[in-house]
Structure 1
Amino acid sequence: MIVQIIYRKFTPEIKKLVNRLRRIRAVEDIIFSKGERNMLIVDGLVAWKEGDGDPMEGFYDIRIIKSMLEINPEVSA
């Protein structure tokens, strides 16, 4: 997974988020961009925006969505 962190100001909360993301094996790259508001984008999908709660919940939501797309359930008629 490729994670992009868009930040307005690099705060201790952003640093804590980066440290938590680096511990996850599925995260291949972390890209940093300066922007107008803090955001977390995972594989092109917005996982979290500033003021939406815990950014790790958004990350895991995207991870669940990605794994659900990989499952091919067999449908019988």
Structure 2
Amino acid sequence: MPASRSQAAEGPTFVIPLNDGYGVGECVDGGSSTCGKVVADAWCEAQGFRRSASVGPADVETTGSISRARSRIAVTCAP
């Protein structure tokens, strides 16, 4: 099945811990979406990508159910 145009414009999604050293945890705990975008952009750039395409809570599967993990965040980077 071919990727949609929006999927092709996005790179990989990384699940990173909130205490990664980039300040992601502080942004998430503070509730600032602007802060989260800035930190996600910096994280993606440090990984060799242009910027972040999206950032949000990570869905983590545990024992057959999907839950939102407070200890991790999902960052999708743009190529």
| Pairwise same-fold verdict (TM > 0.5) | no
Between Structure 1 and Structure 2, which shows a larger proportion of strand residues? 2
Q: TM-score, normalised by structure 2?
A: 0.26
Q: TM-score, normalised by structure 1?
A: 0.27
Q: Larger Cα Rg: Structure 1 or Structure 2?
A: 1
